[in-house]
Amino acid sequence: MVSKKFISYEESGVSIDANDRMVERISRSVSSTHGPRVIGLENGFAGLFRLDYDEKLFKKNYRNPVLVACTDGVGTKIVIAQAMGRFDSVGIDLVAMSVNDMIVQGAEPLFFLDYLAVNKLEPERVVEMVDGIANGCRQADCALIGGETAEMPDIYGKDEFDMAGFAVGVVERDKIITGSRVEKGDVIIGLASNGVHSNGFSLARHICFKQEKLKPTEPIAELDGQSIGDALLEPTRIYVRSIVKLLNQYKVKRVVHAMAHITGGGLVGNIPRVLPKNCNAVIKKSSWPVPPIFSFMQKAGPVQEEEMFRVFNMGIGYVLAVAPDFAPSILKKLNSYGEKAHQIGTVTAGSGKVVLK
């Protein structure tokens, strides 16, 4: 009888040692997102977070809290990250896609968890991803309290990966924003995006790389010499601090009637989600500057303007419908918080749709 050679897990494509090295290296990034409500648990199987916190210095208690949960990914934007060998910005995108959705309901993010699936666990690459996720969590004032990295060589090809994120937040029950208060005459305010954010990348990649056959590192004159890859990888803007700070300015008066995160479907697809059935949102397209990346893709396609507005954010990443008497002061506040805020339209009588003018 021929004796067989012992085989290891690593020979099948999974390295426990690499995972241990990765965990050790990301600990500092993860802990940088922790506040006093995170309960440390070394080698724990789950993250712990205190909802109420009575200590005077950091007191944070809720009367009637409602937990809010979101999950999302980055989509095919990761294909461009692979091509560019850049993995930090997609970590910010991952956080942004969940926390920007969450604040639409008036919630503040509490904590975040990530899931990374890779062909081969390369600690340096995963550390870069987690550094980006931690960066996004710091921008959103939420704690990164856990995550999972799965090494699956039989599912993902060489250098391939995917990522998903999960966020939990909280809102007082009587402060939940649903859009039910929207009425004729409300002013629509738009907050500028950083560019394409994390939606529409199947079309963007088709135009830029399949049709135009551009290299990711190729500089584009219409983008002031920026490479197409860097332009497309510009991370999604996180609006959490500005929106949470704004809502805290109006603890009694309910002057923000609705909000929408402008993701897949653009303005025409996302604003109707928070409009009453008897109202329209009339949007004036000339009321904000459209970033050059959109003009470049529209011309290169060519893509009809109507289709551009159905696929991309076109320079507006977040929208608020506010009481008209408070619109000027809200615009001023949002700009003072570092946003580029524009009055982009009004609410009229209608049938629950967006009208572009």
Q: Specify the higher pLDDT residue, 78 or 6.
A: 78
Which amino acid is it at 330? I
Query: Which one of 175, 195, 214 terminates a domain?
Result: 175
Domain count for the chain: 2
- The answer to whether residues 210 and 111 belong to one domain is no
- The answer to whether residues 191 and 148 belong to one domain is no
Q: What is the pLDDT of residue 123?
A: 84
Question: The tokens of 103 are what?
Answer: 């604040």
Q: What is the pLDDT of residue 331?
A: 98
Per the structure, the complete domain to which residue 84 belongs is given by 10-175
List for the chain the helix, strand, coil content (%; round to 5).
40, 25, 40
For helices 123-139 and 89-103, angle between their N-to-C axes, nearest 10 degrees: 30
Question: The tokens of 229 are what?
Answer: 């890859």
Residue 257: strand, helix, or coil: strand
Q: Is 192 a domain residue?
A: yes
- The answer to whether residues 148 and 87 belong to one domain is yes
Structure confidence at residue 57 as a pLDDT band (50, 70, 90): low
d(CA 255, CA 161): 43
Q: What is the pLDDT of residue 159?
A: 84
Q: Is 113 a domain residue?
A: yes
% of the chain exceeding 90 in pLDDT: 76
Query: Which one of 175, 209, 236 terminates a domain?
Result: 175
